[in-house]
Structure 1
Amino acid sequence: MENAHMMTSKLILSAAAASLALAACAAVPVAIHAQSAATSTRATPPPLPVGTCINMGNSLEPEQEGSWGGAPVDAADFARISAAGFDTVRIPVRWHNKSMETAPYTVDPEWMARVVEVVDMALAEDLNVILNSHHFDPIYSDPQGTAQWHGGVWDQIARQFADYPEEHLWFELENEPHDQLTHANLLDTLEPALVAVRASNPTRAVIIGGENWSGVDSLATLPLPDDANIHSTFHYYDPFPFTHQGASWTAPNIPEPGRQFGSPADLAQLQRDVAKVETYIERTGRVPFMGETGAYDRHVSTPERAAYHQAVREAFTPSGIGICTWAYANTFPFWDRQSGDWLPGMRAAMGLPED
């Protein structure tokens, strides 16, 4: 890794510099108009080499790092992940409570420096990194009213990482659009962010997921910008009554405990969902990747979780997609912080060696 990519002391944009950067972004010609959901004649990018991927869940996306029962990330985590055979880490980051909501939308310099430090630790272990905006809460209830703020934050992120290797660091503009952020307004809402990114990173891979929490059905109507380096993603937590049983954050409709996975109906649904992805690939020429999948460990045993992961992997990977599991070490974990070891069967479920 080049030294320039490992420096955590890079200068953070000042408020004045951010204002100038945003002004410059407005002048950059970026083809933002949407391709239709129908087959496009534009050349499509090769699939991102996501491979086998794991999310650093409950780390940088809670209100404060390590809350929600998680722990601060350190270099040993990425060394462990790399040694286990994972190719990529997805790093969810909460930005809205670490930035000004009015122009120039300045990100807290200490927070930016921490994100840089975490990305550098992952890259140092030869892992690909998906860096995303996660839980930018106001954008879901007020997409248009939040779009410039969201774009101003992405301007700073993009400039911070502009010199990093494009082949190993990718940007995901917003996690799981939902509520008022739908396909009807998705591209208009993300336009300021994409324009800002393209001003400093004209060819870096940018990832966009669809409405309704980026479920697999969102691929059918997912609009994408007319940009040769845009990649699509979806999340897979089906059947939801199994993967989220007892999950309090799904209130008021908390799935009841006791649901098992593997019935003929479950396997038939899995095959139908694979067919939806294959239809999307055939129609668009794009190979999406699965940005999240998993089962909550509160009421689902480790062997049941491993069996679910194996079934999902074996069903979807023949289509050529990469899969990011949720998550590393908290809620849906693969690594057990208490025992200091990988949970049995979980790596094998993802096709990785267990030794």
Structure 2
Amino acid sequence: MGNTLEPEQEGSWGGAPATKQDMERIAAAGFDTIRIPVRWHNKSQSTPPYTVDPGWMNRVQQIVDWALKADLNVILNSHHFDPIHDDPLGVADWHGGVWQQIAQRFAGYPEDSLWFELENEPHNVFDHSNLISTLTPALEAVRALHPTRAVIIGGENWSGIASLETLPLPDDANIHATFHYYDPFQYTHQGASWTAPDMPPAGRTFPTHADAAKLANDVLAVEAFIDRTGKTPFMGEVGAYDLHIPLEDRAAYHRTITDAFAPTGIGMCVWAYSNTFPFFDRKSGEWLPGMRESLGLEVED
């Protein structure tokens, strides 16, 4: 649900408020899981008891309930908790206090269909050297009420695939690793203004011979992680920006990535539903041609 609950205000980055009909539409289209990125830091107090705005918590719960009622699995995460990336250990208790409230609100929800993702894309000084220490307050808050609910943890450097090589994980059978895949970045983010001053120029094509070789190595990296840890990671985001990439090329990109990683057995969430890297066009009220098919979903004529 990109550009929905993770902007400073819901839908303020060109997105739109989520609706019950969105969840029903996503389920009817053949998807089985929805990932809901949520910004919490500007909706909570930075000092104890770290109170989350009640209206915001109610709104998040409403969307989760809509999704579950539509028979979708839900991954609920903390997204853009900006201060934690600059001062991980200093912000850890605040972050954990927010997760304590999330854990309380969703106590009793079915474990098989609601998963928690503690923090999106650690970066800056939030890295593997302090990842576990920083996330411990949040994990302990969750485990106090959800001892066996699935919890997702991603690694440093924006959770790129290379983070799997050294990703530290707690000794917990219900922890699952995630990584994000926007490779090659020069292709997927061409013309993306938010990447300035290093914005990739428009005109990059995919796949080159080098792209194909890297993709094959990345599949091997996932297989190596599975062999080493006994855990199958989750691709939490994958996509290509639509500003300069024709629709048919975006579909071809997704098909290539989906087919390449399929033998590993990993789950995947695509970025995003209807804004930035979209699959659904709100103006026409239609799914973009070829995009669902690129994921292997069956689409009726």
Smaller-chain TM-score bracket: over 0.9
Tell me whether 1:221 sits opposite 2:203 in the alignment.
Answer: no
> Shift of the alpha carbon at 1:240?
0.2
1:111-143 C-alpha deviation (Å, 9 max, x unpaired): 000000000000001000000000000000010
> Shift of the alpha carbon at 1:354?
2.4
1 CA distance for matches of 2:64 and 2:3?
16
Corresponding residue of 2:138: 193
Matches within 5 A, 1:89-168: 89-168=34-113
1 CA distance for matches of 2:262 and 2:2?
23
Contact in 2 for aligned 1:173/1:190 (Cα 8 Å) = yes
Q: Report the identity percentage.
A: 69
2 CA distance for matches of 1:289 and 1:198?
21
SS at the partner of 1:226? coil
Contact in 2 for aligned 1:140/1:177 (Cα 8 Å) = yes
> What is the total number of aligned residue pairs between the two structures?
300
2 CA distance for matches of 1:254 and 1:285?
37
1 CA distance for matches of 2:200 and 2:133?
34
Question: Relative contact order (alpha carbons < 8 A, sep ≥ 6): 1 or 2 greater?
Answer: 1
Corresponding residue of 2:220: 275
Matches within 5 A, 1:229-248: 229-248=174-193
Letter in 2 for 1:306: A
Superposed structure 1 runs of 4+ greater than 6 Å apart:
none
Letter in 1 for 2:46: E
> Shift of the alpha carbon at 1:194?
0.4
1:238-285 C-alpha deviation (Å, 9 max, x unpaired): 000000001111111000000010222111111011110011101111
Letter in 2 for 1:309: H
Letter in 2 for 1:210: G
Matches within 5 A, 1:1-355: 56-355=1-300
> Shift of the alpha carbon at 1:322?
0.7
> Shift of the alpha carbon at 1:166?
0.2
Contact in 2 for aligned 1:345/1:354 (Cα 8 Å) = no
Corresponding residue of 1:29: none
SS at the partner of 1:91? strand
> Shift of the alpha carbon at 1:314?
0.2
1 CA distance for matches of 2:197 and 2:131?
26
Letter in 2 for 1:291: G
Corresponding residue of 1:31: none
1 CA distance for matches of 2:157 and 2:23?
31
2 CA distance for matches of 1:145 and 1:225?
20
The runs of 5 or more residues in structure 2 that have no matched partner are none
SS at the partner of 1:266? helix
Q: TM-score if structure 1 supplies the norm length? A: 0.84
Contact in 2 for aligned 1:173/1:193 (Cα 8 Å) = yes
> Shift of the alpha carbon at 1:336?
0.4
Q: TM-score if structure 2 supplies the norm length? A: 0.99
Letter in 2 for 1:110: G
Letter in 2 for 1:245: Q
1 CA distance for matches of 2:12 and 2:290?
27
> Shift of the alpha carbon at 1:193?
0.2
Letter in 2 for 1:155: Q
1:153-193 C-alpha deviation (Å, 9 max, x unpaired): 00000110011000000000000000010000000000000
SS at the partner of 1:258? coil
